[in-house]
Amino acid sequence: MDVLTLSRIQFAATISFHYIYPPLSIGLGVMLVIFEALWLQTKNPLYHQLARFWTRVFALTFAIGVATGIVMEFEFGTNWATYSRYVGDVFGSALAAEGIFAFFLESGFLAILLFGWDKVGRKLHFFATCMVCLGAHFSAIWIVVANSWMQTPAGFHIVGEGLKARAEITNFWEMVFNPSSMDRLFHTLCGAWQAGAFLVVSVSAWYLLKKRHLEFARASLRVGLVVGMIASLLQLVSGHESAQGVARNQPAKLAAFEGLYETTTNAPLTLFGWVDEKNERVTGLAMPGLLSWLAYGDAKQRVTGLREFKPEDRPPVAWSFLFFHGMVAIGFGMILVSALGFLDFWRGSLFDKRWMLWLLVLTVLGPQLANQAGWFAAEVGRQPWIVQGLMRTPDGLSAVVKANTVLASLILFTLIYFLLFAVFVYLLNDKIQHGPDDADLTPSGKLALPERRQS
């Protein structure tokens, strides 16, 4: 294999593995804030126990997220040096802002969140939890801004020619609020909230099935289901807005998502199906006019098809279609399952419905798979560009890196990440089997002091 293929595989593999964890940090961060707020409000030690248990799970995901995150920052330079030179002026500043505003905040207050329970008062601890959660959200903001700039570049101009050409910022805020960044940020965050909420739902449902820690599991499930359902519904809104943005800004990508070859009014939306790229045909169940209506709010609108683009400017259609449709299908599935689960919970019949509980146990996979599929759709759909319309992916490679070097690092990362994943699953399972700590029902140290004496 050549350097290009290997570098692309390596980036895809390392970012996919990394992206298991940040959504959990963001989503569990929100859950921790809620649990701790409930504890402060109700003074019910059960919520203290909840916060403590989920903090331990949070710590585990956070550590791997940090360790695999540094790899990403390095890889822009190691494998994509020409790209880095080209975009450094724009992309680099977003990355540096991420370090200063997000990572310091997150990791600094993490110390208090994890180790400060007995050392600081309730309010300060709650503040630290909020800051960790905020830091996690900030990290999403800056990296999504940077990636969105690659999808819909704005606020820049090109200086120099040939190998010396590069993008330079002309307007920082136009760069930050480029046409796709806010929609995609909202979409990414909803996905992260789902990831955190449904991990909580899944573990709680499992305890209920096994008739363990019942009181803990009920409280945990209630909060998880509410957050998960709200996030799933918001995801519908954010997904719709993102897709409309793609229709406006990246028509080739939208056409690939939907396997639309012919430019047409009343464009159909394929609900289920597959793409035959060779014969440029889509087989499956389609609703006429729905794509036009979804993309532009009017079934009569014209949607651009792939034939408008030269073959070398088209994304890989079958893959884009598959990832996009996979994501959408899971997204609707999550809404359905969380709504059914919530309905049963509300009626009080959930705890006897074992099949429903089993379904809830499985929901942890939904957001994870949809997040992966969504990012694959976003990145594969942008091809053949590394920066939409400006630089093609092969032109971004490092000039001095050889194929066998990348092969060596790819093998190394693959082995290490398999090991890490195995250990992660083992330890997570261990924590879940161990369950909440009864000692956490009695807050100790400064937390145990009556409210009045808090500083």
Partner 1 sequence: MNFGNLDLHTTWFILIGVLFTGYAMLDGFDLGVGALHLFTKEDQERRTMLNAIGPVWDGNEVWLVTGGGALFAAFPNVYAAVFSGFYLAFVLLLVALIFRAVAIEFRSKQPMRWWRQMWDVGFAGGSILSSLLIGVAMGNIAWGIPIDARGEYAGTFLGLLRPYPLLLGVTTVALFMMHGAIYALMKTDGALHDKLRGWINNCIIFFIICYAVTTMATLLYVPHMAARMRANPWLFSIALLNMLAIANIPREIHHGRDWRAFVSSCVAMVALMGLFGLEMYPNLILSNPDPANSLTIHNAASSEKTLGIMLTIALTGVPLVLAYTVSIYWIFRGKVKLDRMSY
CB of 400 to partner 1, least distance (A): 5
**According to CB under 8 A, which one of 45, 77, 288, 389 is a site residue for partner 1?**
77
Q: Could you say which residues in the range 239-298 bind partner 1, by CB under 8 A?
A: none
Residue closer to partner 1 (CB basis): 85 or 240: 85
**According to CB under 8 A, which one of 37, 97, 209, 339 is a site residue for partner 1?**
97
Give the span between the Cα atoms of 238 and 186, in whole angstroms: 6
**According to CB under 8 A, which one of 279, 310, 348, 399 is a site residue for partner 1?**
399
**According to CB under 8 A, which one of 16, 93, 244, 263 is a site residue for partner 1?**
93
Give the span between the Cα atoms of 269 and 238, in whole angstroms: 19
439 interacts with partner 1 by CB under 8 A: yes
Please choose, from the candidates 235, 241, 240, 249, the residue with its C-alpha nearest in 3D space to the C-alpha of residue 179: 249
DSSP secondary structure code for residue 170 in this structure:
S
Q: DSSP for 19-81, please give it.
A: TTHHHHHHHHHHHHHHHHHHHHHH--HHHHHHHHHHHHHHHHHHHHHHHHHHHHHHHHHHH-H
427 interacts with partner 1 by CB under 8 A: yes
The token duo for 364 is 């942890």
CB of 111 to partner 1, least distance (A): 3
Q: Which stretch binds partner 1 (CB under 8 A): 23-31, 87-95, 299-307, 348-356?
A: 87-95
**According to CB under 8 A, which one of 54, 76, 257, 324 is a site residue for partner 1?**
76
> 3-state class of 264 per DSSP?
strand
Which amino acid, residue 283?
Answer: T
**According to CB under 8 A, which one of 12, 40, 88, 309 is a site residue for partner 1?**
88
Q: Which stretch binds partner 1 (CB under 8 A): 77-85, 222-230, 245-253, 376-384?
A: 77-85
130 interacts with partner 1 by CB under 8 A: no
110 interacts with partner 1 by CB under 8 A: yes
**According to CB under 8 A, which one of 1, 43, 67, 438 is a site residue for partner 1?**
67
What region, left, alpha or beta, does residue 414 occupy, with left being phi > 0 and alpha being psi -120 to 50 degrees? Answer: alpha
95 interacts with partner 1 by CB under 8 A: yes
CB of 360 to partner 1, least distance (A): 27
Give the span between the Cα atoms of 69 and 50, in whole angstroms: 28
Which stretches within 290-389 are classed as H helix? 290-296, 317-347, 354-362, 365-380
Q: DSSP for 207-230, please give it.
A: HHHTT-SHHHHHHHHHHHHHHHHH
Q: Could you say which residues in the range 405-424 bind partner 1, by CB under 8 A?
A: 405, 408-409, 412-413, 416, 420, 423
Give the span between the Cα atoms of 413 and 140, in whole angstroms: 24
Q: How many positions of this chain bind partner 1 (CB under 8 A)?
A: 74
Q: What x/- string results for residues 169 through 208 when contact with partner 1 is judged by CB under 8 A?
A: xx-x------------------------------------
118 interacts with partner 1 by CB under 8 A: yes
Give the span between the Cα atoms of 254 and 109, in whole angstroms: 41
CB of 28 to partner 1, least distance (A): 15
Give the span between the Cα atoms of 326 and 92, in whole angstroms: 32
Give the span between the Cα atoms of 424 and 411, in whole angstroms: 20
Between CA 363 and CA 370, with CA 365 as vertex, the angle to 5 degrees is: 105
50 interacts with partner 1 by CB under 8 A: no
Q: Which helix (H) or strand (E) holds 398?
A: none
Residue closer to partner 1 (CB basis): 66 or 290: 66
**According to CB under 8 A, which one of 12, 16, 85, 313 is a site residue for partner 1?**
85
> 3-state class of 147 per DSSP?
helix
45 interacts with partner 1 by CB under 8 A: no
448 interacts with partner 1 by CB under 8 A: no
